[in-house]
Structure 1
């Protein structure tokens, strides 16, 4: 069997690495950042979550997009040009990595919206240790919402992880 072109090898490396990195970044937020954030008083927590969210919404979708483009290129090139049986695996890798968007919109957006509201409510509050949520709108506390968000975020991290595993499997099998 002839060796694959360099462009294919580069796309394999970029796709797998990017989706694995994206998954690790998402998991890192849930397993490392969220428990640390939960120590803060609610006004600080709301601000910290918002900053973390704003940074993550820029970085992780961009990394996922690089991975999706790489996997899509592999699927197209291997299926269309080389008639390669692994093209479907790369297509699935792209679809799973893409899954972070619908999961975020349909699974996480209600919690995100509540946290955005908490952030807006607490903008002017004292950030001292004694600051509480007394007098704010009824409902889940900021800590409960951030904890819930962290668990939902673990679900989101599974999508690019499955994409990376499928991409690696297609590459090595």
Structure 2
């Protein structure tokens, strides 16, 4: 049985009449795997050794930076230009954020879901920042510190506004 025909059967059994972009998800997973493999190959080529452990400070910076970067990528008004080929604007969604719906089919739809879901994009961003901490720790710490500061600043703005009311 040809692979394409087998894939169509799996897709039909999985989602019946609903259109789910399984091929797009597969392309996304393969892309992520290729990028992880590429980072690993670069590290091996350079002779980079994995750290024995990450510090608690690195982990906190990574978590805050991943949170902020994923919100910027998936919800920020200013980055809507990056999402526009894959989404449709719906309405404002809070402070400097927008709500969008995914459009298109297949890979386009899967990319749209990745670009509008902070939980989904967080995996990619955390992976990139973690690779950065291993392959280029100084610039990555600079980036994670700046993103973490912006995340903390956002919460201070929200708290300040709440305290005024």
Q: Which has the higher strand share?
A: 2
For the aligned pair, the TM-score class normalised by the smaller chain equals: under 0.3
TM-score (norm 2): 0.27
> Which structure has more RCO (C-alpha within 8 Å, separation ≥ 6)?
1
- TM score, norm. by length of structure 1: 0.27
